Structure 1
Amino acid sequence: MIKIYTDGAAKGNPGNGGYGVVLLYKDLRKELSEGYRLTTNNRMELLAVIRGLEALKVEGLPVTIYSDSKYVVDAVQKGWIWNWQKKGFKDKKNVDLWKKYIPLHIKYKPRFLWVKGHDGNRENERCDELAVAAASGTQLKADQGYEAEKNQGMF
């Protein structure tokens, strides 16, 4: 089984943000992170899940995603994303990211487990460290999806 731990962070909401991912498979470990300027915590939480799934090299293995984001976990587990998709994501935020997530969900069929943030879960804490460090970096990327939605009056 592949385990993917994810976390997102934003300094201000919106503000500088970042995500952190820890991928575990047998004795292999990979860490990912990236920072963005002017974004939101929810966007970084969802982007962490996307980047974790995009990093997978193998199909057909069970994948479990551990996230402290109720926004992401509930949207998937409770099936909200499929209703949003049916309705063309009308009046929803982060549409660009949900549209990236859906094909990855179909491909890998991940199981989600919610973990309480800042509660001593070693891998979740590591993801938080990665996300906060990325958000504090000097080479922050533009979050074009956030900018587009902001220009449409979504934020």
Structure 2
Amino acid sequence: MYKNIKIFTDGSCIYNPGPGGCAAILQYHKYEKIVTNSFFLTTNNRMELMASIIALESLKENCNIIITTDSNYLKEGITTWIYNWKKTNWKRNNKKKVKNIDLWKRLELSLVNHNVVWKWIKSHSSHYLNEKCDKLARISANNPINKDLGYINK
């Protein structure tokens, strides 16, 4: 039987590109787990993607998941745009290469064993867990620790 998990995510970047951080809050019944990461040189969109990736990769078994994000780029990218990108060899409508292909592929792979529903909410709309993720992502962005995943336009 699959566990029902709620995940709230956010990414933050100073200067864009610049130092960035991401955060996710995972909830299962009364339990809450927080995961964060940060990078010296990255973008806001990469951090939005990474927030969901680190949350999903932290799960140890198959789950039913609701992921709540304030990033339309993330939600639309993984629920709609990715199907066309894959058909067109990761090209957009203007024939330019999709940005962040490495992370889109990693995100897609992290979804394989889960049933996921994506939910978008307006940022800074007083949603407590979104605001908490935003704060944690900003703290992480101000304290970067990783060099290896930074600003890569793959």
What TM-score comes out, normalization by structure 2 length?
0.89
| Ranges of 4+ aligned residues in structure 1 off by more than 4 Å | none
Shift of 1:121: 0.7
Deviations 1:93-116 (A, max 9, x none): 001101101122222131000011
Describe how 1:86-101 pairs up with structure 2 within 5 A.
Answer: 86-90=87-91, 91-101=97-107
Alpha carbons 2:39, 2:149 under 8 Å: kept: no
Q: Which runs of 5+ in 2 are unaligned?
A: 92-96
The number of equivalent residue pairs is 146
Structure 1 residue corresponding to 2:137, chosen from 121, 131, 140: 131
Shift of 1:145: 5.7
Higher-helix-fraction structure: 1
What TM-score comes out, normalization by structure 1 length?
0.88
The whole-number CA distance in structure 1 between the counterparts of 2:89 and 2:145 is 31
Q: Which runs of 5+ in 1 are unaligned?
A: none
Shift of 1:136: 0.5
Describe how 1:1-155 pairs up with structure 2 within 5 A.
Answer: 1-59=4-62, 61-77=63-79, 79-90=80-91, 91-137=97-143, 139-144=144-149, 146-147=151-152, 149=153
1:89 counterpart letter in structure 2 = W
Q: Give the root-mean-square deviation of aligned CA atoms.
A: 1.5
> Secondary structure of 2:113's match?
helix
Report the identity percentage. Answer: 40
Shift of 1:120: 0.8
